[in-house]
């Protein structure tokens, strides 16, 4: 029932709403339940974006919407150009105009996360974005961390992003953290959290059973290995004796036949 309710949510087509939903499903570890819906949604958004060759539409979109769209499309392997996507947010010097964005921490955080999905040849585009957004976000945390009227959820996301970018994190560990954080998130659908908790517990139980099976199989495989210890020791000792024989008789002054007989006797009929 929970999964059916979530499928109904994915059907709607408000681009920003769906991008946020896809991002939430990914961070909650639920996206594999909705692969077909997510793929269809991203294809529609990508086609709509590529068919719009000028930046008129993007100028009407917020930095948050553009950066979130860029990050998700890049994450799923779509070829979305960085230069054209963010050109309307740059000044004459091709630097990001963060000062003109005011207190849009949500958009700057989205830009910071998107900047880490650069590809070869884009370091000059995003290096400035990473440096400037990091400075801004650090100042935001200092300014709003002790403010009772601040957005606690947003501050938590900013602090988390400054520790390590989302793109570099392990998904299952991120899922555990994000599930707890979503409890303080405004407008979070309760059935999503319930499904995320249920799915996480099922996956954890499955992996624990797999670990028990592998551990038992490993124990059964090597449990009686001590019975081979004497054989291994004997081989090592005879290898040392072979080396000694080669040193004594195989230095160019001995008889070759005697050396061969001595070595073969060690391999075929080891010395007791």
The neighbour count for residue 4, using CB atoms within 10 Å, is 8
The span from the CA of 136 to the CA of 170, in Å, is 25
Six token digits for residue 262: 């001595």
Q: CA nearest 4: which of 31, 28, 34?
A: 34
Per residue in 136-194, pLDDT tens? 999 889 887 766 656 788 999 999 999 999 999 988 889 999 999 988 787 777 888 89
Per residue in 195-230, pLDDT tens? 999 999 999 999 999 988 888 876 666 666 565 567
Six token digits for residue 10: 């994915």
Quickly tell me which residue has 């290898």 as its tokens. 239
Question: Which of the four pLDDT bands, split at 50, 70 and 90, describes residue 49?
Answer: confident
- Global pTM reads 0.72
β-bridge partners, 90: 96
Backbone angles phi, psi at 13, to 5 degrees: -130, 75
Sequence-separated (6 or more) residues with CB below 8 Å from residue 109: 133, 137, 154, 157, 158, 161
Torsion of CA 214, 220, 221, 222, to 10 degrees: 110
Cα–chain center distance at 136: 25
β-bridge partners, 236: none
Cα–chain center distance at 213: 27
Higher pLDDT: 146 or 69? It is: 69
The span from the CA of 104 to the CA of 109, in Å, is 9
32 CB burial (10 A radius; 0-12, 13-18, 19+): exposed
Q: Is the pLDDT of residue 55 over 70?
A: no
DSSP SS3 for 13: coil
């Amino acid at each position: 029932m929970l999964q059916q309710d979530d499928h109904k949510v994915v059907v709607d087509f408000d681009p920003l709403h769906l991008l946020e939903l896809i991002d939430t499903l990914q961070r909650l570890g639920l996206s594999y339940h909705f692969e077909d819906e997510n793929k269809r949604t991203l294809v529609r958004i990508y086609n709509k974006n590529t068919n719009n060759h000028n930046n008129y539409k993007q100028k009407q979109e917020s930095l948050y919407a553009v950066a979130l769209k860029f990050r998700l499309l890049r994450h799923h392997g779509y070829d979305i150009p960085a230069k054209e996507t963010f050109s309307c947010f740059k000044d004459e010097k091709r630097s990001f105009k963060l000062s003109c964005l005011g207190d849009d921490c949500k958009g700057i955080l989205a830009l910071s996360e998107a900047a880490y999905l650069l590809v070869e040849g884009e370091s000059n585009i995003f290096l400035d974005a990473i440096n400037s957004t990091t400075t801004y976000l650090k100042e935001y945390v200092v300014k709003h961390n002790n403010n009772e009227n601040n957005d606690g959820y947003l501050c938590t996301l900013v602090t988390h992003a400054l520790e390590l970018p989302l793109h570099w994190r392990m998904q299952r560990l991120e899922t555990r953290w994000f599930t707890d954080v979503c409890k303080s998130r405004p407008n979070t659908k309760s059935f999503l959290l319930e499904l995320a908790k249920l799915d996480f517990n099922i996956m954890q139980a499955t992996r624990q059973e797999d670990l028990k099976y592998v551990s038992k199989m490993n124990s059964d495989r090597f449990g009686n290995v001590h019975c081979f210890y004497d054989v291994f020791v004997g081989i090592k000792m005879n290898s040392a004796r072979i080396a000694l024989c080669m040193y004594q008789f195989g230095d160019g002054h001995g008889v070759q036949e005697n050396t061969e007989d001595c070595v073969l006797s060690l391999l075929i009929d080891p010395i007791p």
